[in-house]
Structure 1
Amino acid sequence: MLRIRTVPRLLLSAALAAGALAATAAPATAATTTHTSFEDRLRAIPGVTVTGVTDKGGHPLYSLTITQPVDHRKPRLGTFEQRFTLWHKSSAKPVVFYTGGYGLSDSTREPTTILDANQLSVEHRFFGPSVPAGPTPWDKMTVWQEASDEHAIVEAVRPLYDKGSKWLATGGSKGGMTATYHYRYYPQDLDGVVAYVAPNDAVNADDRGYERFFRTVGTRECRDALNAVQREMLVRRDTLLPKFEATAKEKGYTFTNTLGTTDRAYEFAVLDQVWNFWQSGSASQCDTVPDAGTVSDDDLYTWSLDHGLSIYEDSTLGANSSGPYYRQAAAQLGWADLAFKHLKGVRNHPDIYQPNSVLPADMRTRYSGKAMHDVDKWVRHDSQRMLFVYGQNDPWSAEQFTPSKRDSYKYVVPGANHGARIAALPAEEKNAATETLRRWAGQ
């Protein structure tokens, strides 16, 4: 399961902020008036609407929508408006095409900073307001359909930039996956991809990489302490479940449409706890792990809330917030179905740890691994100019893409979690990765 209580929540918050910016965009400033001819050309693109423009660092940030077919193979089935933004600096500079894989975020990405580039940021189809009217056709939210959305945006916007301008795609986590899928289906769109902490669940039934990660991450003492706390959370279910229910009541959380009961929601949250600790935390926090044998109920529950006990509830699932991700995971992306051997005998719901559990009935689906197998094979053998960055202590980095030998590279940031970045690599590797990006960008 993709743990979305940290990075994706930030992405979604940024998307809401970007939407608010678009709705209340200020008149063009002095910085934007110098780009009047560019803006006129932008406004003239068929199917593209400029919904607002504001200033970002002395350059115009355009908020836009583009009319996309619900099904690129059958355009007659209808359309929807997909949001994107364009931070324009110069038609001669490279363009970084960023997708977070969720709602819209126009936060400045690391490759954009390294290259002093323009940045085009896109909202993934069927997240936020980028949805068709009426019931959402979830079967049309495939990796190929989104890649085709992004291809349409590239084709629409590329003519505004110089012929020699290079285009590099980037994204983190699900965004890194999305950038990779775009490149697989439309390699002519891009001059390279920089994918951060992008999971590669090429064989969904094979979770040995994840199991190996949890057997080796950090120190044995830390792993044992975390496993003991996780088990104790279920051993003390009778006394801790009322605390969980009180939290849910205080926050207004419900579980009726997705997980069903508070007991199921509680167990699901506990199963995610150790994963979340490593995804967002660090080995330096191991000293905070309480002694499972002596810690009080109150202290155990409070520590867990602060260290990985993410609550999955109706308002952020289904068609809302992160729900569309779980539909994608259930249908194509895959998930980690961990064995949890240390929890034997204390689980009430042994089959709960899979994405359909957090989806309403009308969004549940069957998994097909065809697309993931195809992408994995292409990245290994046929791709070129791909750079992957992973975190040593990030559970999502346990199943990685293997780049080809065709001007492609993979780096692992020592001690890093799901926020691994090029800037945190050892100096020699950082310099090599940076030089690679600049070479791809023609700098």
Structure 2
Amino acid sequence: MSYAKLRSHRTHVYGLIVVVPFLFLSSCRSAKRSDDASTCSETQERLAEALAESMVLQCTANLAEIEQRGAELERDNAALRSENTQLQEDNAALGGLKDTNASLQAENEQLTTESQALGAESEALKAQISVCVDELEEARHPGDIRDRLALIPGLGVQEMKTQIDGARVFSVRIEQPLDHKDPSKGYFSQRFVLLHRSEDLPMTLMTTGYGLFGGPDTWVDHEDELTVLTGSNQIVLEHRYFEGSMPTHRDPAEIDWRFLTIEQSAADSHAIVEKLKPIYSGPWVATGRSKGGMTAIFHQRFHPADLAGIVPFVAPISHGINDARYDRWMTQIGPNDGRCRTQIEDLTVELVRRRAELATALRQSSAYFDVFRVEAVEAEVALSANMAWALWQYWGSPELCSSIPRAGTDVTQLGQWVFASPYDILGGSGGSDEPNYDQYLYQLYRELGGPSQSAPYWEAAVADVDFSMLPSRSGPVWASELPAFDRTAMEKVEAFLSNEATHVVAVYGAWDPWSAGRIQVDETRQSRVFIAPAVGHSADLASLSTGDRSRALELLQAMYGRLNFAGAKTTAPSAEQWQHMRESSQWLDRHIQRQEMRDLRRAALSSIGANR
């Protein structure tokens, strides 16, 4: 019952207390006119008294209840006041939150505006990125090989015209560190020539060991024997410090020769493989002739993972600076009967003995010799007479032995045989390539070593020759700082070849003086050393016996994964194909011959100077 209802009930009760006695009194006043007036009055008084008493009791009870309920209501009201106070506090707090919310809403509207702007900018950037991705993908896989090469960092590329069907040829320069272990020492530009057929084909990496023998144009139409055999791509690499790959164009005396080592050279080849392997992902096979073949061996020695194999031709590994094995080999070289060796030795002595006649004939036949004093030409003839090594190296063959002049031959015929084509032992007496000898000699004295090349019969014959009449030549630019010979360099190479090297096909000539330094390999590792019969430094695959050629082709098939004749894998090339490959190797051999004959001549001059 609510407080308002209690108050209404109390008022009603008080009203009854007043009204009921009044009704009884009114009734009694009416009864005075009758006989029962006194009785009525008495009765009314009793009733009124009883009723009043009853009403008082009832009111007392009601008042107690009302007071109890009032106390409860007071407690409820106190609770409501407390709750109202809390609500007021909460409302005050909500007022602050409303302000914060209003601020956040304003900030959100600002962020929404900025987000919309960023969204528009993001869409524009996405469009630009999409274009860049397309351009990058096109750059990674451009349609033209020249463009792909040009994208390689550190490469400069120029295309050259070639007559080779289905091929394109590029002259390339690559920036190489002088010291691959410490690039901070500077860089140099190294040259190579790339013959491109297809990115899917193998790569034949041919190192010359010297320069490019004149420049990239020399190689624009040349295919190596292995390139012809396999139909592969081809690189012809110029050796560091030679011709156009010198570390500087300053005075040669200022060149730092310390970095002309087999390890640095191998690192040059390795850098080229690393840069081009993403394009030419097929097998890479290193090859080369003579010093170039040695360079291929060094590449595999230091970076075997680069290569599927190596094919060095006539590449010697020497034991020291004066390796006596070559002298012993020269006493056994040629046909077994030894007659050819004896004929060459006799011819040597004959030339020295008749040097005055030959000098006169040379001065009469060539303006080149006419400018020198006759004594100088005589000394030149005597020096050139030490020709056994050169004859066996470059012309060792049955034809050589059958053509050697006999004692007493007419001086004109004698001079023509010795100093004219094909032998021309004076061909190494000079020329623009002679400065390359400094580089080769440095390598010889530091790591490569070389033959002793003693010839007692010649040395005895020239005992009274005045070699001081020869034009003076300066020594190497590094002569004042002769490098210490590192015997371990070749020892480690030989240990690698014997114990670790795999997929090696090496070819040597049976009549080549350098074959005394032929390598040894483990034939259980898909490797073999072949000796071509009755041939000198021009030995190649075509000059091998039929059985050896077949075995060599099997090993090459394992390296390259393909051979290029008649679509077959093991069938031998035709005679015409072998002839084409033979001509290719002979072309290269002639270039190397001119370089190495100068080296031999300078070595002979150095020997004379050391012995007198």
TM-score range, shorter chain: 0.7 to 0.9
Q: Report whether the alignment pairs 1:193 with 2:310.
A: yes
Match of 1:68 among 147, 159, 176: 176
Q: 1:305 aligns with which of 419, 436, 446?
A: 419
**Residue in structure 2 matched with residue 280 of structure 1 by the alignment:** 394
Q: Does 1:385 align with 2:503?
A: yes
In the other structure, the counterpart of 1:125 is 240
Structure 1 regions of 5+ residues with no counterpart?
A: 1-33, 255-260
Correspondence 1:149 to 2:279: no
Specify the alignment match of 1:5 in structure 2: none
For 1:319, the equivalent position in structure 2 comes to 435
Inter-partner Cα distance in structure 1 for 2:551 and 2:343 = 38
For residues 252 and 380 of structure 1, what CA distance do their matches in structure 2 show?
53
Residue 45 of structure 1: which of 145, 149, 152 is its match? 152
Equivalent residue in structure 2 for 1:225, among 315, 335, 343: 343
Preserved contact between residue 80 and residue 133 of structure 1 (Cα < 8 Å) = no
**SS of residue matched to 2:171:** strand
2:366 and 2:463 map into 1 onto residues whose CA distance is 20
State the alpha-carbon separation in 1 of the partners of residues 514 and 371 from structure 2. 27
Indicate the RMSD between aligned Cα atoms, in angstroms: 2.9
Q: 1:408 to 1:236 in 2, by over 3 A?
A: same
Deviates more, 1:91-100 or 1:35-44: 35-44
Q: Once the two structures are superposed, what CA deviation does each residue of 1:113-138 show, in whole Å capped at 9, x if it has no partner? A: 22211111111112221112213333
In structure 2, what is the Cα distance between the partners aligned to 1:90 and 1:308?
42
Alignment check: 8 A CA contact 1:147 1:182 kept = yes
Partner residue, 1:340:
455
Q: Which residue of 2 aligns with 1:372?
A: 490
Q: Cα offset for 1:178?
A: 0.8
What pairs up with 1:11-22 in 2 under 5 angstroms? none
Q: Contact 1:323 / 1:359 at 8 angstroms: preserved in 2?
A: no
Q: Pick closer, same or farther for the CA change 1:376–1:403 going to 2, 3 Å.
A: same
Equivalent of 1:96 in 204, 212, 215? 204
Note the residue ranges of structure 2 that are not aligned, 5 or more in a row. 1-140, 213-217, 563-612
In 2, Cα distance between equivalents of 1:215 and 1:441: 36
Deviation (angstroms), 1:391: 1.1
Shift of 1:299: 3.1
Q: Could you say which structure has the larger radius of gyration? A: 2
| C-alpha distance in structure 2 between counterparts of 1:311 and 1:113, whole Å | 30
Residue 247 of structure 1 and its aligned partner are, at CA, apart by 7.6
d(CA) in 2 for partners of 1:275, 1:68: 36
Give the Cα–Cα distance (whole angstroms) in 2 for the partners of residues 331 and 358 of structure 1.
Answer: 22
| Distance 1:216-1:53 versus aligned 2 partners, 3 A rule | closer
Moved more, 70-79 or 178-187: 70-79
Tell me, in whole angstroms, the C-alpha distance in 2 between the residues paired with 1:336 and 1:208: 8
Query: Greater share of strand residues, 1 or 2?
Result: 1
TM-score (norm: length of structure 2): 0.59
Give distance in 2, aligned partners of 1:399 and 1:110.
23
Question: Is the contact between residue 323 and residue 450 of structure 2 (CA under 8 Å) also seen in structure 1?
Answer: no
Equivalent pair of 1:124/1:146 in contact (CA under 8 Å):
yes
Superposed CA deviations along residues 60-117 of structure 1, whole A, max 9, x for unmatched, are 1111100112222332232221111211112111111111212226421122122211
Structure 1 residue 348 displacement after superposition: 4.3
Paired residue type of 2:145: F
Quick check: 1:59 aligned with 2:167? yes
Output the CA distance in 1 between the equivalents of 2:517 and 2:402: 27
For residues 387-406 of structure 1, the aligned pairs below 5 Å read: 387-405=505-523, 406=525
2:226 corresponds, among 91, 111, 128, to: 111
Counting matched residue pairs gives 395
Name the SS for the 1:103 alignment partner: coil
Find 1:428's aligned residue among 538, 547, 551.
547
1:439 aligns with 2:558: yes
1:118 and 1:176 map into 2 onto residues whose CA distance is 18
Q: Secondary structure at the match of 2:189?
A: strand
Please report the TM-score for the alignment, with normalisation by the length of structure 1.
0.80
- 2-structure distance, mates of 1:358, 1:143: 28
Distance 1:312 1:358, change over 3 A: farther
Map Cα deviations across residues 408-433 of structure 1 (whole Å, 9 max, x no partner): 11111111221111122222221111
Alpha-carbon deviations, 1:195-230, whole Å to 9, x = none? 111112134433234433343412422211110111
Matched, 1:161 2:280: yes
Q: Does 1:81 find its partner at 2:199?
A: no
Q: What CA deviation, in whole Å up to 9, does each residue of 1:24-43 have, x standing for no partner?
A: xxxxxxxxxx9843322210
